[in-house]
Amino acid sequence: MSSADPAPPPAHGGERFAYDSNEFGRGITFFDAIYAFSATLLITNLDAPAEEDWRSVSALLDSGLGAQLLGFTISFVVITLFWRVNVGILRQLSALNRPVIIANLVAAGLVILIPFTTGGISIDDVGDYPLPTALYALNIALASLAQTAIYLTAHHHRVLADGADRLPAHLLASLVPPAVFLISIPVAYAAGPAAGQWTWLSLVVLVPLSGRLLSPTRTA
């Protein structure tokens, strides 16, 4: 090609890093590290009990450690599930490009915020205040929607692997968790934070049910 020939048009979504490239592997490692770091940060919500609280298990739980352990457990499971979903999405890609990387960074940033909002629901002294539950639910809902945005971005920029493009089925499955967490916000304000948090348990039924409804077009 001579110097007078026009340059080829840029790829849709900018430069792409193929699935088997070193850059793709480094990107996966980076995002995996963020999820692992977020789960590790949850330990900062556990306060060391006072010396007299170690006299019995009931004294330990009454010191506030019980609520902190519950918040730790809930958020550890949530972050682990987010990581699993992220891995499932990235395994369906044929390449990474700039928009998909940005979408991943947004989702990762919201996951990093989970240890902070976990602190709100781990404090006994907040009593009947619905705000901590609402902020936590909003955090989880936005992080879940951000995970869906990764798939939508990959679909738009055509970096999904062959056979991985199941947009309607993926949307149906991925919108169930954020819908439940968003619904729990008005429930927390109307009926109290405990009622809002009990709403989250409906996912134990709704998520498997949505998976069955998607058969045989199941998503990762």
Instruction: Identify which of 157, 163, 206, 138 has the alpha carbon closest to the alpha carbon of residue 17.
Output: 157
Place of tokens 């968790």: 177
pLDDT of amino acid 168: 60
Distance CA 48, CA 110 (A): 27
Distance CA 70, CA 122 (A): 7
Question: How many other CB atoms are there within 10 angstroms of residue 182's CB atom?
Answer: 17
Helices (H), the chain: 22-41, 57-60, 66-90, 98-112, 114-121, 131-156, 167-174, 176-191, 193-199, 203-214
| Helix pair angle (131-156, 167-174), 10° resolution | 170
Q: What is the DSSP letter of 17?
A: E
Tell me the pLDDT of the chain averaged across its residues: 83
Residue 129's φ and ψ, nearest 5 degrees, are -70, 125
Tell me: the pLDDT tens digits for 145-188?
999 999 999 888 888 887 655 666 667 678 889 999 999 999 99
Residue 161's φ and ψ, nearest 5 degrees, are -70, 160
Average pLDDT rounded to a whole number, residues 9-20: 67
pLDDT higher than 80, residue 9:
no
The pLDDT-based confidence of 132 (bands split at 50, 70, 90) is very high
The pLDDT-based confidence of 10 (bands split at 50, 70, 90) is very low
What are the residue ranges spanned by the domains of the chain?
17-163
Alpha-carbon dihedral angle through residues 169, 86, 185, 195, given to the nearest 10 degrees: 90
pLDDT of amino acid 218: 45
pLDDT of amino acid 116: 94
Distance CA 194, CA 209 (A): 24
Sign for the CA dihedral angle at 197, 201, 207, 213 comes to negative
Average pLDDT rounded to a whole number, residues 70-79: 92
Which amino acid appears at position 84 of this protein?
Answer: R
The pLDDT-based confidence of 217 (bands split at 50, 70, 90) is very low
